[in-house]
Structure 1
Amino acid sequence: MEYIRITSIEDPLFRSMHELMQEIFPAEEVLEYSLWKEPLEDPGIRVFVAVHEGKVVGATEYRYYEDFQVAMTDFTIIGRAGLGIGRFLASKRQKDLQEVAAASGSGMLGMFAEIYDPYRIQGHAFGGIKPMDPFVRREVLSHLGYKRLDFGYVHPSWENDGEAVTELDLCFWPTDEERSEIPAELVAQFLSRYYSVLSSKPKEWHEMVEKLKSQTAVRLLPI
């Protein structure tokens, strides 16, 4: 299996990846095809696909924020069961992030990820791929060391229509597994920058960020 970076919407592998995203994720979670042009060309955004026998069978997008010393996993897609795609992507991603952090001369406090709450996302089959089932993914991420941030999370729809998506939790993988909280200001700053690309964010999202700014820390709870 190959781990190949995509940096252009003209790359044939990108079309395959985007089609896979549309099969797996709800529509509000998939950025429109043409809007990927700038993100793919951004050197700070890292999009890789897992290619098996010439076909895209998985993908992951992530980024590292040097000034925050944190990373964000935008998504991880497993397109076929029985190939060890999840483990392959997680291992390759971790190695790449360690190299990026080292090259920047900074350490890494940890990595954010949005995780579906299976009790709130009922009715979506995630492409019929069992490894993508929210129950399975949540348990796997728990084993990897991710913790749920203790606040009501609102996610702005990637359709940029101002709608609030409430079926996810914001989670964090701390490099120090003994860490029990992270600064609320860090969470607020991260979310403000991460979603700056969306011009239409729901009122609930703005209220959430303002509430975070009034806090000192956010607890890390078991998933």
Structure 2
Amino acid sequence: MEYHRITHIEDPLFASMHQLMQEVFPPEEVLEYSLWKEPLEDPGIRVFVAVQDQKVVGATEYRYYEDFNVAMTDFTIIGQPGLGIGRFLWKHRQADLHSLAQASGQRLQGMFAEIYDPYRGNDHTFGGVKPMDPYVRREVLSHLGYKRLDLDYIHPSWNNDGVAVEGLNLGFMPEDDSVNEVSAALVAAFLRRYYTVLPNKPAAWNEMVEGLEAQSTITLLPL
């Protein structure tokens, strides 16, 4: 299996990856095809696909913020079971992130992720791919060390229509598992940076971030 980075929209593997995203994610979670041009060319956004027999069987997008010394996992897609895709992507992503942090003279503080909460009635099937089942994914992320922020979390729809998307938790995986809180200012600054690309933010999202800016820390709870 090959870990291949996509850096431009003309890469023939990008169309395959985008199709895979449309098959497993709800529409409001998928950025429109042409809007990927700039993100793919951004050196800070790292998009990799798992390729087997010249076919995209998995993908992951993530980024490292040197000034915050945190990472964000945008998405991970496991296209089919029985190939070890999740472990393959995880190992390569972690090695890459630790290398990026080390190059900046730091030890990675931790990594954010938006995590579906199926216990709140979210019954999305993720294209029928069992490894993508939200119950399975949530438990896997818990095993890896992710915790959820004590926060009523929403995010702006990737349709850029100003709709607030619910049904997710904001998770954080501290490199030190004994850590049970995170700076609220860090979370707010990270969210503002992360969603800069979407100008049409819902009022509820702005209120959430302003609420974070008025706090000192956010508790990390079991996932």
Q: Over residues 93-150 of structure 1, what are the superposed CA-to-partner deviations in whole Å (9 max), with x where a residue is unaligned?
A: 0001011111122221100000000123533210100000000000000000000000
SS at 1:160 equivalent = coil
Equivalents in 2 of 1:14, 1:172: separation in Å? 28
SS at 1:89 equivalent = helix
TM-score under structure 2 normalisation? 0.99
Say if 1:192 and 1:98 are closer, same or farther in 2 by CA, change over 3 A: same
Q: Over residues 6-65 of structure 1, what are the superposed CA-to-partner deviations in whole Å (9 max), with x where a residue is unaligned?
A: 001000100000000000000000000000000000001000000011100000000000
- 1:110 maps to which residue? 110
Q: How does 1:9-158 map to 2 (within 5 A)?
A: 9-120=9-120, 122-158=122-158
Does the Cα contact within 8 Å between 2:122 and 2:167 map onto a contact in 1? no
SS at 2:60 equivalent = strand
Structure 1 segments of 4+ aligned residues over 4 angstroms from their partners: none
Equivalents in 1 of 2:163, 2:192: separation in Å? 17
TM-score under structure 1 normalisation? 0.99
Equivalents in 1 of 2:86, 2:116: separation in Å? 16
The alignment of Structure 1 onto Structure 2 pairs a total of residues equal to: 223
- 2:8 maps to which residue? 8
Equivalents in 2 of 1:88, 1:197: separation in Å? 29
Say what the alpha-carbon RMSD is for the aligned residues.
0.7
Gaps of 5+ in 2: none
Aligned amino acid, residue 23 of structure 1: E
Does the Cα contact within 8 Å between 2:16 and 2:56 map onto a contact in 1? yes
Equivalents in 2 of 1:179, 1:65: separation in Å? 20
Aligned amino acid, residue 141 of structure 2: L
Identical aligned residues as a percent? 71
- 1:197 maps to which residue? 197
- 1:174 maps to which residue? 174
Equivalents in 2 of 1:166, 1:215: separation in Å? 22
Equivalents in 1 of 2:144, 2:123: separation in Å? 26
Equivalents in 1 of 2:184, 2:85: separation in Å? 34
Aligned amino acid, residue 129 of structure 2: I
Equivalents in 1 of 2:159, 2:3: separation in Å? 28
* 1:66 Cα offset (Å): 0.4
